[in-house]
Amino acid sequence: MQLLVCLPSCGNKKTDSDKRDGFEDGKYCAEVTYYYNRTQKTSKYTLAVEVAENELIAIYWPNGGWLDDSHFTPPDISDGDASLTSNQGVDYHVRIIGEEGDCKLDQQASTEEEILGLSEKGQSE
């Protein structure tokens, strides 16, 4: 007796609108690590991020601030990890860890403006 097993990848029913490898468009929670070379400061937080067409297009802070594609070139995040540098020179590494609402976001996360402010404070001391 033969048993035929067909997994969801069987068949040829995919369309351009179907999810390709990676993530569907939408918001996710992610571990976001950022590093600012001028101060040698590194911070890691759980933040909301947005994905469109398997590219990271926004990082959201709990205070209502955000970085989006006007602040960086959207990197590919189809494998769940991406790195980027903002137009202010802050390096980010983003790793998606769950669906939006599945994670507790860090409410005290430092924004990029605060990181840049730390560098000015450090230079004046």
Name the residue ranges covered by the structural domains of the chain.
26-102
Q: Give this prediction's pTM.
A: 0.76
Query: Could you tell me the mean pLDDT of each successive run of 10 residues in the chain, 125 residues long?
Result: 41 40 93 93 94 97 92 97 96 96 88 72 36
Q: What is the pLDDT of residue 22?
A: 87
Q: What is the pLDDT of residue 114?
A: 85
Q: What is the pLDDT of residue 20?
A: 53
Q: What is the pLDDT of residue 118?
A: 54
DSSP per-residue string spanning the chain: -------TT-SS---TTS--SS--SEEEEEEEEEEETTTTEEEEEEEEEEEETTEEEEEE-TTS-EEETTTSPPPB-TTSEEEEE-TTSEEEEEEEEEETTSS---TTPPPHHHHHHHHHHHHH-
